[in-house]
Chains A and B, each alone.
Chain A
Amino acid sequence: MKTLLVTLLMALTALPVLAVEPSEMLKDPAKEARAREVSIALRCVVCQNQSIDDSNAQLARDMRILVRERIEAGDSNQEVLDYMVSRYGDFVLLEPPVKGTTYALWFGPLVIVGLGVVAVVAFYRRRLRAVAAGGGGTQAASVPLSDDEEKRLAALMEDAES
């Protein structure tokens, strides 16, 4: 319970966003632009799903400054990301790396789309076979309408036509 409260508190205090402060920004606009690009890809690890670029949590600020230090030190964007992963783990990347534990995530969408396509193709083929077997567009399996229901249906349909 206590950990929940602490996490919640941290998450909540992080909400009103006054993210990047001018004092943190690099003088060189090209380097600053790179810093922003890297920051957007990094998660503020105490927040709920915010990048360090748009969180005002203290930790996000520290991480932003760290990113800028690495860029000033001559790291490429990828090297900065690798450095942050070495410190905080995969959790810090908003785009999860493709590896054993995330294959299901990255290839899952293809499987889902594939299953959907197979289901639709199967649907059309089954319908075709049903026609071939002569059982096509009938309602043999369902309960027939009673007279009263037929009347209601007719009234509704008539209403639709008018």
Chain B
Amino acid sequence: MITEVGHFALVLALMVAGVQAVVPIVGAHRGNAAWMAVGRTSALTQFVLVSIAFAALIHAFMTSDFSVLNVVRNSHSDKPMFYKISGVWGNHEGSMLLWCLILAIFGGAVALFGRNLPPTLRARVLGIQALISIGFLGFVLLTSNPFDRLIPAPENGQGLNPLLQDPGLALHPPFLYLGYVGFSIAFSFAMAALIEGRVDAAWARWVRPWTLAAWGFLTVGIALGSWWAYYELGWGGWWYWDPVENASFLPWLAGTALLHSAIVVEKRNALKGWTIFLAIVAFAMSLLGTFLVRSGVLTSVHAFATDPERGVFILVLLMVYIGGAFVLFAVRGPALKAGSLFRPVSREGSLLLNNLLMTTGAGVMVLGTLYPLFLDALGGGKVSVGPPFFNAAFVPIMIPMVLVMALGPFMSWKRGEALATCKRLWPALALAVATMAGVGAVMGAGSPLALFGLGLAAWLFGGSCLELFQRIKLFHAPFSESLGRLARVPRATWGMTMAHIGLAVFIVGAVGSSTWMVESIQVMKTGDTVTVAGFDYTFHGARTFRGPNYEATEGTFTVTRGGEEVVTLKPEKRIYPVQGRPTTEAAIHTMVLGDLYAVIGDEDKGGGYVTRLYFNPVVAWLWLGSALLVLGSLASLSDRRHRVGAPVRKAQAEQAS
């Protein structure tokens, strides 16, 4: 019964979206306030209805209702409750419903918090959000209905893929989708602005918080996925340039570019057309990612061709939305052209360079990710485009970006001085050289590229710190004055500083972990000791035990260094009988300079166990850097300038006093 309520609510939501897509836009066109107000009510109604549908599906999973086909395929009564719930989005149908829910949440948020938007803009934004909702609600109802029944109901379900039964991967899809779908708001704002024929500083200020929020969520989502790959896949890798990973990275690149170009619109009233274009591209990349992951096209073009219903549906949505957006852009974009001037060497110029590099980077990744599909579809044979291509094509584009990232914030608007800026950055250059020399002395000069990468990170870190020092006049004014200035630094500026330093920290992690990893694979018997990167791992045997829905073999290692005990590691290998599939649960001890990482494998005939022991250098820096990126977006988001409802609240306070 509850399942049918959910199904019904979803159909109703589609109807409401239909109303929301037409009435407010027509109302805005005719200047009819009552019609425009429909946008707000219907967006909130749609949010409530999709929430009911989603809650009904969660209910079916929690109660293990095996008369629902989706529950049968993706759940099992023995599963812990946490994974019963995360199983809701651990499958195609449920995850698309989550997509729709998040779309409705964002639409509802604009309706609720967008009170200070001009009524016509709000009406149009909500109307366009509803057009997107129609497509995806239709997709769920027509091709991917999670509420389909299975009569007679089987006694138990087929369980969830054990790899997905993990906290990191349980939370990864919701964050990723919050990011993907969050860019739909920037898209809707861009479309609404094109219809209105106006893009100005106020528009950029309204768009920025939504874009920042989406970007922050997407960063969390990608980092969670990467973290999961690191501890679950069992050999310490964290990025594979897999098409699915690329699909999440593409909107991130476009979104990063959008964030930066929106700054130029807000502060300098320039790059307007370009910012609109980026808003379209960011959402296009989100849709492309959804298409790649959800259509099955990645497994094989032929699999896609034999079962094309879902893939073609999303492809059509992609073409309609993005094609339509570009047509609108082509027709209305030229009207936006005018903007204030700036020189190539200026703050705007450096932000434009960031945009150029981010978008070309994204373009190169689209090329590499889609190339095998196109070549195969055109009958050109099968090729694989793997990490060597992406490292060779993508990394060189990022190097100039990091170089300029340290310079840009020093530049003045409109017209900067390249030479004067470079002179101010000499301490950062010194730090970079010292880092390269220091690391080179310790690790040897065998990997000049890695040393250069660390130098870049030091340059960016130094530049970001110097920018802050200059802002607070450290060493150039009495210390108390500097402290006072520090307290008054706007949060948006803190956001930039944190995010830029975060990237520097991330680069250290990326370079270090991929260059200096130490690995040792062997058979160990109880009492054996193996030395990895100066750490002695002593194996104390393994025991077996039963978890809630799996059987585990757990090995015990004590790790010592120079005779002193460091840690005891207990890696597991699990078998989930329902699926008959093993997973590895690596034991990881995190330290500043590297992770001790142990994996236990199968028992061999002689009574020993296959063990894999790793020293993964500076991996913690990856997660710290990602956390700083997210904190930066939060700090920036908390800046009162970005608070969407702030002016309204201020006005109310004034009235009250």
Q: Is the CB of B116 within 8 A of A152?
A: yes
Q: Does B200 contact A (CB under 8 A)?
A: yes
> Is A41's CB within 8 Å of the partner chain B?
yes
CB < 8 Å: which of B338, B393, B651 contacts A139? B338
Contacting residue for A142 out of B197, B341, B584, CB 8 A: B197
Residues of B within 8 Å of A138, CB to CB, are 338
Q: Is A122 an interface residue (CB 8 A)?
A: no
Q: Mark A90-114, 1 if CB is under 8 A from B, else 0.
A: 1111111000011011001100110
Within 8 A of A (CB), among B190-212: 196-202, 205
Contacts A18-B601, A159-B646 hold; do A142 and B298 have CB atoms under 8 A apart? no
Question: Is B584 touching A48 in the complex (CB atoms < 8 A)?
Answer: no
Interface string of B238-269 (1 = CB under 8 A from A): 00111100000000000000000000000001
Total A-B residue pairs with C-beta atoms closer than 8 Å? 190
Main secondary structure of the interface of B (DSSP, over half): mixed
Query: B360 at interface (Cβ–Cβ under 8 A)?
Result: yes
Decide if A156 is an interface residue (CB 8 Å cutoff): yes
B306 and A1 contacting across the interface, CB-CB below 8 Å: yes
Flag if A25 contacts B521 (CB, 8 Å). yes
Q: Tell me if B337 counts as interface (CB < 8 A to partner A).
A: yes
What is the bound-complex CA distance between A17 and B236, given in angstroms? 11
* A66 at the B interface (CB under 8 A): no
Which residues of A are found within 8 Å of B602, using beta-carbon distances? Answer: 18
Is B112's beta carbon under 8 Å from chain A? no
Q: Name the one of B298, B382, B647 contacting A48, with C-beta atoms under 8 angstroms.
A: B298
> In the complex the two chains form, what is the Cα distance from A13 to B583 in whole Å?
10
Expressed in whole angstroms, the Cα–Cα distance for A28 and B94 within the complex equals: 51
Select which of A54, A90, A95, A160 is within 8 A of B641 by beta carbon. Answer: A160
Q: Given the complex, which residues of B lie within 8 Å of A135, measured CB to CB?
A: 338
- Contact, CB under 8 Å: B610 / A96: no
**Any B CB within 8 A of the CB of A21:** yes
Residue from B161, B163, B307, B339 having most chain A Cβ neighbours under 10 A: B339
Chain B residues in 8 Å Cβ range of A143: 196-198
Query: Contact string, B568-589, partner A, CB cutoff 8 A, digits 1/0?
Result: 0000000000000111100000
Whether, in the assembled complex, A116 has its beta carbon less than 8 Å from a beta carbon of chain B, the answer is: yes
CB-contact partner of A137 in B198, B341, B604, under 8 A: B341
B154 at the interface (CB under 8 A from A): no
Q: Give chain B residues whose Cβ lies under 8 Å from the Cβ of A93.
A: 383-384
Q: Compute how far the CA of A114 lies from the CA of B560 in the bound complex, rounded to whole angstroms.
A: 54
A117 contact set on B, CB distance < 8 A: 356
Binds A, one of B83-91, B144-152, B364-372, B442-450: B364-372
Tell me, in angstroms, the Cα distance from A67 to B385 when the chains sit together. Answer: 21
Chain A contact surface mostly: helix
**Residues in chain A near residue B380, CB distance under 8 A:** 101
Q: Which residues of A contact B198 (CB under 8 A)?
A: 142-143
Any A CB within 8 A of the CB of B563: no
Residues of chain A within 8 A of B162, CB atoms compared: 16
B479 at the interface (CB under 8 A from A): no
Which chain A residues border B387 with CB–CB below 8 Å? 94
Residues of the B chain whose Cβ atoms lie less than 8 Å from the Cβ of A73: none
Are B335's CB and A92's CB within 8 A?
no
Q: Name the residue in B352, B359, B612 with the highest tally of chain A Cβ atoms < 10 Å from its Cβ.
A: B612
B389 contacts chain A at the CB level, 8 A cutoff: yes
Q: Is the CB of B367 within 8 A of A18?
A: no
B296 on interface, CB distance cutoff 8 Å: yes
Give bound CA distance, A159 to B654, whole Å: 14
| CB pair B202 A152 closer than 8 Å | yes
Q: Which residue of chain B has the shortest Cβ distance to A142 in the bound complex?
A: B198
* Inter-subunit contact B641/A104 (CB<8 Å): no
CA separation between A109 and B470, bound complex, in Å? 38
Complex CA gap A101/B338 in Å reads 43
Contact assessment for A48 and B381 in the assembled complex, using a CB-CB cutoff below 8 Å: no
B303, B360, B375: the one within 8 Å of A4 (CB): B303
With beta carbons under 8 angstroms apart, the residue of B116, B163, B205, B522 that contacts A15 is B163
User: In the complex, which residue of chain A has the Cβ closest to the Cβ of B197?
Assistant: A143
Interface string of A136-155 (1 = CB under 8 A from B): 11111111010001001101
Interface residues of B (CB under 8 A from A): 116, 118, 161-163, 196-202, 205, 233-235, 237, 240-243, 269, 296, 298-300, 302-303, 306-307, 334-341, 344, 352-353, 356, 359-360, 363-364, 367-368, 371, 375, 380-389, 393, 397, 521-523, 581-584, 599, 601-602, 604, 610, 612, 640-641, 646-647, 650-651
